[in-house]
Structure formats: structure tokens, C-alpha cells
Chains A and B, each alone.
Chain A
Amino acid sequence: QSVLTQPPSVSGAPGQRVTISCTGSRSNIGAGYDVHWYQQLPGTAPKLLIYGNTNRPSGVPDRFSGSKSGTSASLAITGLQAEDEADYYCQSYDNSLSGSYVFGTGTKVTVL
């Protein structure tokens, strides 16, 4: 299975800035496919956080921002808040084999 790799966990104090990396390859992010980010609070379905590499859906605070470069992407959370404690997944498309939508390994954000 194609893999987008994320750090297992990141943590920060309230108000701090944290970043989550998402490393792919030439068959997914490096091929030009957009990267999207999802936030999953405990016991709930994933929710779209960033789409098209850098865009926030309506209602998502501007504390969340995304970027993409080469075969990688990043999610930044500035002004960390307790309610940001969740799992975060990046997602893209992979054109190897017959093509599939692929998710990152996931990152647990802990607010200290």
C-alpha cells in the first residue's frame, strides 16, 4: 500500500505553533496531486480541515494553514488550543498500480 508518512505525534503548549509533515513520493504528492488534511476528534468521523493544499473550508479557523512543496506537504497550527487535540491525517491520490486515494499514517496532536 502506498504510504504518506507523518510523525506519530506532536505536542505543544496552548498558544504555541506546531507543524505536521506529510511525506509522499513521485506517484502521489510529487505527481502534482493536491494534498488535503482531515481532523478527527475522538469517536467522530474525519472532518475536512484543508483542501487543495492551502485552502480552508468555511468555518475552519485561520489558525490552520497548509502548504505543499515537491513530494511533501505540511499542516501548521498556530495559537494552539485545547480543542485542537485530535488526530490529523493528510490525504492525496496515488497513480501507481490502478490508482487509489491514500491517507497519511496519522499524527496525534497533544496540547500540554
Chain B
Amino acid sequence: QVQLVQSGAEVKKPGASVKVSCKASGYTFTKHAIHWLRQAPGQRPEWMGWINVGNDERKYSQNFQGRVTFTRDTSASTAYMEVSSLRYEDTAVYYCARLVWIGEYENWIDPWGQGTLVTVSS
């Protein structure tokens, strides 16, 4: 079955960077983009952007532009997300998720990884 498995929880100090991995299995990795999202405690999911794994095209949400970087390793079927200059308000569960694309008006997110808790604390 399609599965996304993320790396483990992280604790970082303000100003540091964190890199989260997302290993895909059960489908052809290069045929689907990967979304990155985060969810702060008690909040709704927030979209951070996506990476087209096939051609390495990336789109970042304006809210994260310049502070987030998406990469991928097709040989390892793994996508990565790095957030720099961490702030206390970046404490959240970070998710990767597969984009299912039918067309511009018809595309959805499925499945999601299990999530990676990133805690920013001094």
C-alpha cells in the first residue's frame, strides 16, 4: 500500500535549522508531487508548499518563502524539508503528503505521513 514514513521528533533551539525526511513506498515516487504541511497544536493544517519529484519544480507558500527548502533523492524515494531560522512559533507537527493530480481543479492530498513533531525551545 502507499505509505509515507517520516523521520523522528526533533528539539531545536531558536535560530537553528531542522531537516525532516519522508520516505515513500508502494507507488512510483517520481509520478506524484509531495506536499509539505504543518499543524500547530490545536490548529488546522497549514500548507507550506510542494515539490514535483519528477522534475524538481518547487512551489512555496508565501508564508514560508525564503525560510523553507524542499529537496528529494529519487534513488532513495525520499523527500526532504528543511526549515531555517527556527522560531518558537514554528513548534508544530510537520507532515509530508502525496499529491494526487487529475487536473488543475481536481487534485487532492493522500496519504499523509505520520508526522514529525518539531519543538523549538531554548
Chain B 43-79 near chain A by CB (<8 Å), digits 1 or 0: 0111100000000000101110000000000000000
B95 and A33 form a contact (CB under 8 A): no
Which residues of A are found within 8 Å of B107, using beta-carbon distances?
34, 93
Which residues of B are found within 8 Å of A25, using beta-carbon distances?
none
Within the complex, the shortest CB–CB distance from A97 to chain B, in Å, comes to 6
> Number of A residues whose C-beta is below 8 Å from B?
27
> Number of B residues whose C-beta is below 8 Å from A?
23
Total CB contacts across the A-B interface at under 8 A: 58
Within the complex, the shortest CB–CB distance from A88 to chain B, in Å, comes to 11
Which residues of B are found within 8 Å of A89, using beta-carbon distances?
44-45
Interface centre among B35, B44, B45, B112 (most CB of A within 10 A): B44
Residues from 81 to 102 in A contacting B, C-beta threshold 8 Å: 89, 91, 93, 97-102
A103 and B44 form a contact (CB under 8 A): yes
B46 and A45 form a contact (CB under 8 A): no
Alpha-carbon distance between A34 and B109 when the two chains are bound, in angstroms? 12
A101 and B35 form a contact (CB under 8 A): yes
**Given A45-B95, A45-B115: A100 and B47 interface contact (C-beta under 8 Å):** yes
A32 contacts chain B at the CB level, 8 A cutoff: yes
**Given A45-B113, A48-B109: A101 and B62 interface contact (C-beta under 8 Å):** no
Residues from 12 to 53 in B contacting A, C-beta threshold 8 Å: 35, 44-47
Alpha-carbon distance between A97 and B63 when the two chains are bound, in angstroms? 12
Within the complex, the shortest CB–CB distance from A89 to chain B, in Å, comes to 6
Interface residues of B (CB under 8 A from A): 35, 44-47, 59, 61-63, 95, 100, 102, 105-115
Closest 7 CB pairs of A and B: A101-B47, A48-B110, A45-B112, A51-B108, A36-B108, A103-B44, A106-B44
11 A-B pairs within 8 Å (CB atoms) are namely: A34-B105, A38-B45, A47-B111, A48-B108, A48-B111, A51-B108, A57-B110, A97-B62, A99-B59, A102-B47, A106-B44
